[in-house]
Amino acid sequence: MKIIQRFQDYEPQTPLALSIGMFDGVHIGHQTIIRQLNTIAAENRMESAILTFWPHPRTIFNPDDDLKLLNTIDEKTYLLQKNGVQHLFLKEFDAPFRNLTGEEFVHEILIRTLNVKHLIVGHDHTFGKNKSGDFALLEKMAPDLGFGVQQVQAVDYLGKHISSTQVRNALAAGNIKEANAMLGYVYSVTGTVVHGKKIGRTIGFPTANIATDALKFLPGKGAYIVEVFVLGERHKGMLSIGHNPTIGENALSVEVHILDFDRDIYGEKISVNFRDFLHEEIKFDGLESLTARLAEDEQLTRDFLF
C-alpha cells in the first residue's frame, strides 16, 4: 500500500476507485465499502484508495473535545492495508482544505488532483465547507465529470447501524464481544511497560503497567480477560483499567497480570487483545478480599478458550 501525506507528492496515473472518511476502527461497515472499492478497481483497471484525515477534524472544530479514537494512525494503516487498499491519502485537515466548497472539492481534489473515476461514500457522508457536499451533489456532477458514484447503506448489528460511535459505546460499557463483532476483529491496545506501585507482586499477582497512546480509546473501567503479546510470545492475562480504589486515590492505569509469566519486561512493547469482560471496577475492603477476587478472575481467565 502506498501512503501519501501530501497531494503534491502524488502523480495520478492509474484512475482511482476512492472512498472518503475517517474510517476509525475500520469496522465491518468500513470493510464492506473497501470490498466494493477493491472489486470495482479490479474490474475496471483502477486502483483502490482511501482519503482520510489526521488528526480527526473534530479536534479542529471542537478543540476542547477529549476525543479518543479506536485506532492509532499505525493501527489504521495496518488495517486498511490488510483489507487490500492500494493507496492511502493521509490529509491534514488544514484551513485551505476545509474551506473548499463541495463543488470545489470535487473539481480540485477528486478530479484534478487524484483522477478519481469511481467514488463510494457511506449512507450519511457529507463533505465540503458547511457540509455543502453530499450524495445528491455527487450524482449531479458525476455525468459531466466522468466518474461513477455509489452510496453504501449502513451495516446493522443487533438492530443498530454499525458506526465508530457504536463501537466506542460498546467498549465503554464493557460489551467486548459486541464491540468485536462490529469490528470484525479483536479490539487491542498497545503500549510500553512502565514502572508502577508494585502492589500486585506483594499479593501474588504482579502486573505490567501499560503506557498507552494518549488518543487511544480505552474500554470502560473494570477487569477483562485478555490475550497478551510480549517478547514474541502469546499468553493469557487478566487486565484492569481503573484507579485502583482499594489502595487509595490513583490516576487511571492499565495493568495486566500475565498468567504463568515471570520475566522483566520494563520498557518492552506489549499488546493486549480484549476477549471478554470480567466485572466492573470494585473497591474492596482490604487486600485480602482483593486477592480472593483476583484468584476467581484468574480461574475464569484460565477456563476461557482462545
Active site residues: 255
CA angle 241, 272, 206 (to 5 degrees): 60
Burial of 9 (0-12, 13-18, 19+ CB in 10 A): exposed
Burial code of 218-234, b = ≥16 C-beta within 10 A, e = fewer? bbbebbbbbbbbbeeee
Cell numbers linked to 35: 470490498
How far apart CA 1 and CA 284 sit, in angstroms, is: 50
Burial of 262 (0-12, 13-18, 19+ CB in 10 A): exposed
Count of alpha carbons within 13 Å of 53, Cβ hemisphere only? 15
Q: Which amino acid, residue 241?
A: I
What are the φ/ψ torsions at residue 4 (nearest 5 degrees)?
-120, 120
What sign does the CA torsion over 34, 39, 41, 47 have?
Answer: positive
- Residue 106 DSSP class: I
3-state secondary structure of 136: helix
